[in-house]
Amino acid sequence: MRATLMYGAGDVRVEDVPDPRILQPTDAIVRVTRSCICGSDLWPYKSMPASEQGNRMGHEFIGVVEDVGAAVGTLKRGDVVVAPFVWSDGSCEFCREGLQTSCLNGGFWGTPDVDGGQGEAVRIPQADGTLFVLPVAEDDALMPSLLTLSDVYATGHHAALGAQVVQGGTVAVVGDGAVGLCGVMAAKRLGADQIIILGRHTDRTDLAREFGATDVVPERGKEAVEKVRELTGGLGAESVLECVGMEDSFLTALGIARPGGAVGRVGVPQTPGIPGNRQAFLGNITISGGIAPARAYVEELLPDILEGRLEPGRVFDTTVGLEGVPGGYKAMEDRESIKVLVTP
């Protein structure tokens, strides 16, 4: 089959790889019908050292079950399924608590012996625990929005939970990428009254407004902090969603947080320490969140999508076939695309 590999910074190739097959009785094989490129894929795209064997890429996908191992009980051939960006057994102590990202028997896509999602098919370890069967046909028009349950919308929701968004609350979102935009939607869904997005790209901030943002702050750094304080009665936002992970973005997030407030962070950490130790300490700002247990949220987030109330899939503004994936990376890196959908 064909699948995407990254061989180093800027070097993404689509190549022939072995077809996946059942290795464990708990496995399933899924033919991928939709996948996508993640903002987090851009970190290695910027910085990965050259590698001879390359890394398999992609961790968000929807597909159709083609085969199941002998121990798989909840899935059958033909099921349309969404895979969260971490696979998990669904039965360990952490999975039962809804923290599937810490599954004692789980792991990441695109690791040795595990396929990535940017390919024609994937072997799914721990298939019963990992996959969620969708009540739709494989070519349903809702596919883009359903695909966001894999990661980006679930991650925005996780940021909102970490930031302790409440009914009537004041929220600020740092990061106008697909996760930040989904964070706006999640905050709105949880009942926030005021939702401020920090961003300078009007195509993104316009979408943020449609997703529920009440204010747009195009300034950066100190000026952004001042502007958000102005918009929040001088005190800062009760809930801040940090959807970038850089030093500057984190310091901005703390700067615009109200003392006693919370930063829900889902931006992949790019610094050894969480920036702003003293600032967080003096302001008693809680820092929560992390890698989102997307699997835990599918059931809660699904109805709004199925019933057409929310369309997180609007973050996809470009669609490519599998051979177009390298160009998709470049479009996202150049900020010509918010998020790229892949139809293998």
What's at 23, amino acid-wise?
Answer: L
Q: Is 225 or 305 the residue whose CB approaches its own copies more closely?
A: 225
Contact 4, 116 (CB under 8 A): yes
Per-residue mark of binding to its own copies, 162-181 (x: CB under 8 A): x-------------------
* 51-80 positions binding its own copies, by CB under 8 A: none
Q: Is 295 in the site for its own copies (CB under 8 A)?
A: no
Query: Measured from the CB of residue 292, what is the shortest distance to its own copies in angstroms?
Result: 8
* 228-247 positions binding its own copies, by CB under 8 A: 235
Q: Is 142 or 246 the residue whose CB approaches its own copies more closely?
A: 246
Q: Which residues neighbour 178 within 8 Å (Cβ) at sequence distance 6 or greater? A: 39, 148, 152, 315, 338, 339
The only residue of 274, 311, 317, 343 in contact with its own copies, by rule CB under 8 A: 274
Query: Measured from the CB of residue 260, what is the shortest distance to its own copies in angstroms?
Result: 5
Give the DSSP H or E segment for 43. helix 42-47
For the record, the structure tokens of 9 come out as 């910074």
- Strand locations in 37-85, DSSP E? 55-56, 61-68, 80-83
The only residue of 24, 51, 111, 284 in contact with its own copies, by rule CB under 8 A: 284
Q: Is 283 in the site for its own copies (CB under 8 A)?
A: yes
Stretches 61-69, 92-100, 171-179, 212-220: which one binds its own copies (CB under 8 A)?
Answer: 92-100
Contact 209, 216 (CB under 8 A): yes
The only residue of 24, 47, 202, 271 in contact with its own copies, by rule CB under 8 A: 271
Q: Which residues pair with 170 in a beta bridge?
A: 194
DSSP single-letter state for residue 315: G
DSSP single-letter state for residue 134: -
Query: Measured from the CB of residue 297, what is the shortest distance to its own copies in angstroms?
Result: 13
Stretches 42-50, 143-151, 177-185, 280-288: which one binds its own copies (CB under 8 A)?
Answer: 280-288
Contact 86, 279 (CB under 8 A): no
Q: Is 102 in the site for its own copies (CB under 8 A)?
A: yes
Query: Measured from the CB of residue 99, what is the shortest distance to its own copies in angstroms?
Result: 5
For the record, the structure tokens of 215 come out as 């204010």
What's at 3, amino acid-wise?
Answer: A
Q: Is 111 or 202 the residue whose CB approaches its own copies more closely?
A: 111
Cα separation, 234 vs 204, whole angstroms = 26
What's at 10, amino acid-wise?
Answer: G
The only residue of 45, 94, 109, 153 in contact with its own copies, by rule CB under 8 A: 94
Q: Is 34 or 158 the residue whose CB approaches its own copies more closely?
A: 158
Cα separation, 251 vs 221, whole angstroms = 8
Q: Is 324 in the site for its own copies (CB under 8 A)?
A: no
Cα separation, 70 vs 53, whole angstroms = 32
Q: Is 296 or 301 the residue whose CB approaches its own copies more closely?
A: 296
Stretches 52-60, 178-186, 290-298, 324-332: which one binds its own copies (CB under 8 A)?
Answer: 290-298
Q: Which residues neighbour 213 within 8 Å (Cβ) at sequence distance 6 or greater? A: 173, 184, 195, 196, 197, 205
Contact 223, 248 (CB under 8 A): no
Query: Measured from the CB of residue 320, what is the shortest distance to its own copies in angstroms?
Result: 30
The only residue of 4, 101, 145, 170 in contact with its own copies, by rule CB under 8 A: 101
Positions touching its own copies (CB under 8 A) are 93-94, 97, 99, 101-102, 162, 235, 259-260, 265, 268-269, 271-278, 280-291, 293
